[in-house]
């Protein structure tokens, strides 16, 4: 079967270590003032995205998957970014950017 | 018993009339497509979060302060470790180690149950009245007056004036008036319960799915030539982890 043979336990253990370290960094970063609360949230979401990428690449085997499965896996991501991005853009214009990024 | 019958008795997914390699490939592809629809479901909820955050950032920060970061961080670590063990169980069965796979699957299910236990404590805490210093309600004089009339305010042993309020007040959902709204916006708690509730439902489904895989594993149905249900069950469990990775900072750490 595909992906048979080589064991990836070592890579996965390292991934877990990285995820736990990034969790500590997330909690620490939440208590640091980066200028505005909106910037803090952007930083938290960026760290979360790194963690999610690690989970998808190693725990969910995308690093070793065939191209068709990878294509299906990342199919939704541009649409999610488009949907959330467009609505946030619209909302910030309505509410007033100066209120969101003071 | 001939060799042919012995091979036939082995479970390999070919009962659908397809070779196991094809079933393995198609299952993964189909399951990723299903995961894409799950991601879009949560994307809608995260969008709702973003929109209401921009309408009332201060309310969201005050509300997030009411959540316990300890509980959230503990649940994050539980899910990350269980994600690792379920991924490890797939590696174990690839090497033919059925016993290790079963142990790791049981451990993962245990992690899921501990997560739900933690959520139960958190939920029951948020459903009950908590003591809040009257000073924190100064921005909502109408609410403070109501609470005093209802006899909810008193002086505690530390000499502070406190009022008993419910953090999650259904009556205030959608209220845009900062004067009548409690110090913690109810829209945040509505989203908190909705997001973690839908996520918790996925934990319940994941635990059920992995239990089914574990039962099959205990029956000895998996071997290096057929472990597709383990792989697919694992993918579902990782999705639950992915969602929580975003939920944790957005709900617990925006204070």
* DSSP per position, A25-42: HHHHHHTS--SSHHHHHH
Per-residue pLDDT, averaged over B240-246, amounts to 96
More confident residue, B156 or A68: A68
Is the pLDDT at B178 greater than 60, yes or no? Answer: no
Other residues' Cβ atoms within 10 Å of the Cβ of residue B103: 17
- The residues in B 73-132 lying below 8 A from A, measured between CB atoms, are 73, 76-77, 80-81, 83-84, 86-88, 90-91, 94-95
Answer with the residue of higher pLDDT: A64 or B66: A64
Buried b (16+ CB within 10 A) or exposed e, A31-67: eeeeeebbebbebbeebbeebbebbbebbbbbeebee
State whether A27 and B36 contact (CB < 8 Å).
no
Q: Please name the residue of chain A whose CA is at the shortest distance from the CA of residue B88.
A: A9
B183, pLDDT greater than 50: no
- Supply the DSSP string of B62-102, one letter for each residue: HHHTTS-HHHHHHHHHHHHHHHHHHHHHHHHHHTT-HHHHH
Percent of chain B with pLDDT over 90: 47
Condensed to tens digits (0 to 9), the pLDDT of residues B201-236 reads: 999 999 999 999 999 999 999 999 899 999 999 999
Most confident of A44-53, A77-86, B181-190: A44-53
B9: pLDDT strictly greater than 70? no
Which token pair is A75? 């199919």
pLDDT in tens, B100-130: 999 999 999 999 999 999 999 888 777 666 6
Q: Is B235 on the interface with A (CB under 8 A)?
A: yes
> Mind listing the pLDDT tens digit for each residue in A62-93?
999 999 899 988 888 998 899 889 988 888 88
What pLDDT, on the 0 to 100 scale, is given for residue B184? 47
Residues B218, B44: Cα–Cα separation, whole Å: 39
Q: Determine the residue of chain A that is closest to B236 in CA distance.
A: A60
CB proximity B46 to A under 8 Å? yes
> Per-residue pLDDT for A2 more than 50?
no
Contact B250 A41 (CB under 8 A): yes
Mean pLDDT of B129-148: 69
Mean pLDDT, range B37-57, rounded to an integer = 88
Mutate: best of B39, B82, B91, partner A, most A CBs <10 A: B91
Higher pLDDT, B105 or B131: B105
- Locate the domains of chain B by residue range: 16-128+178-252, 129-165
- Burial class of residue B33 (count of CB atoms within 10 Å of its CB; 0-12, 13-18, 19+): middle
**Nearest residue on chain B to A101, judged by CA atoms?**
B54
**Is the pLDDT score of A18 beyond 70?**
yes
CB B191 within 8 A of CB B52: yes
At the top level of CATH, the class of B16-128+178-252 is mainly alpha
SS percent in chain B: helix, strand, coil, step 5: 70, 5, 20
- For the ranges A38-47, B32-41, B157-166, B204-213, the lowest mean pLDDT is seen at B157-166
Contact yes or no for B82/A7 (Cβ under 8 A): no
pLDDT-derived band at B149 (thresholds 50, 70, 90) equals confident
- Chain B closest-CA separation from residue A7 CA (Å): 6
Q: Which of B10, B23, B253 has the most A C-beta neighbours within 10 Å, making it the best mutation to test the interface with A?
A: B253
Q: Which residue intervals of A1-102 are DSSP H helices? A: 9-30, 37-54, 67-73, 76-95, 97-100
Higher pLDDT, A67 or B153: A67
Residues in a beta bridge with B132: B163
* Inter-chain CB proximity B28 and A3 less than 8 Å: no
Higher local confidence (pLDDT), A34 or B186: A34
Q: How far is CA B191 from CA A12, A77, B49, B75, B167, in A?
A: 33, 22, 7, 18, 13
Q: What is the structure's pLDDT at A96?
A: 62
| pLDDT band (50, 70, 90) for residue B198 | very high
Report the SS3 class of residue B179. coil
With a cut of 90, say whether residue B86 has pLDDT above it: yes
Whether residue B82 has pLDDT greater than 80: yes
pLDDT at A60: 94
Q: How far is CA A17 from CA B103, B105, B210, in A?
A: 21, 20, 24
What is the ipTM score, two decimals? 0.88
Q: What is the mean pLDDT of residues B161-171?
A: 67
What average pLDDT is seen over chain B?
83
Point out the residue among B24, B39, B80 whose CB comes nearest to the CB of A19: B80
Query: What kind and span of H or E run contains B238?
Result: helix B228-247
| Mean pLDDT in residue range B22-31 | 90
């Amino acid at each position: 079967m595909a992906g048979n043979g080589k064991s990836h336990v070592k890579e996965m253990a390292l991934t877990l270590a990285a995820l736990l370290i990034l969790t500590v960094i997330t909690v620490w970063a939440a208590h640091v003032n980066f200028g505005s609360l909106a910037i803090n949230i952007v930083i938290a979401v960026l760290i979360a995205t790194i963690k999610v990428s690690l989970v998808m690449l190693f725990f969910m085997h995308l690093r070793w998957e065939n191209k068709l499965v990878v294509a299906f896996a990342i199919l939704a991501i541009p649409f999610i970014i488009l949907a959330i991005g467009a609505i946030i853009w619209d909302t910030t214009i309505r509410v007033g950017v100066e209120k969101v990024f003071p | 018993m001939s060799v042919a019958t012995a091979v036939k008795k082995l479970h390999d997914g070919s009962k659908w009339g397809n070779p196991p390699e094809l079933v393995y490939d198609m299952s993964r592809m189909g399951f990723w497509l299903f995961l894409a629809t799950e991601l879009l479901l949560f994307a809608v909820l995260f969008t709702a979060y973003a929109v209401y955050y921009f309408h009332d950032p201060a309310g969201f920060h005050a509300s997030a302060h009411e959540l316990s970061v300890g509980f959230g961080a503990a649940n994050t670590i539980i899910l990350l470790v269980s994600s690792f063990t379920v991924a490890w169980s797939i590696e174990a069965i690839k090497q033919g180690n059925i016993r290790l796979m079963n142990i790791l699957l049981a451990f993962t299910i245990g992690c899921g149950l501990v997560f739900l236990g933690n959520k139960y404590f958190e939920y029951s805490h948020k459903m009950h009245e908590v003591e809040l210093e009257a000073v924190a309600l100064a921005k909502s004089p109408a609410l403070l007056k109501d609470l005093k009339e209802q006899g909810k305010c008193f002086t505690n042993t530390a000499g502070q004036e406190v009022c008993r309020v419910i953090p999650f007040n259904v009556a205030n959902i959608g209220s845009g008036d900062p004067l009548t709204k409690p110090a913690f916006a109810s829209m945040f708690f509505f989203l908190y319960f909705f997001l973690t509730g839908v996520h918790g439902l996925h934990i319940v489904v994941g635990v059920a799915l992995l239990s089914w895989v574990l039962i099959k594993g205990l029956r000895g149905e998996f071997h290096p030539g057929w472990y597709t249900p383990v792989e697919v069950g694992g993918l579902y469990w990782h999705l639950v982890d992915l969602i929580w990775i975003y939920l944790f900072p957005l709900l617990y750490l925006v204070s």
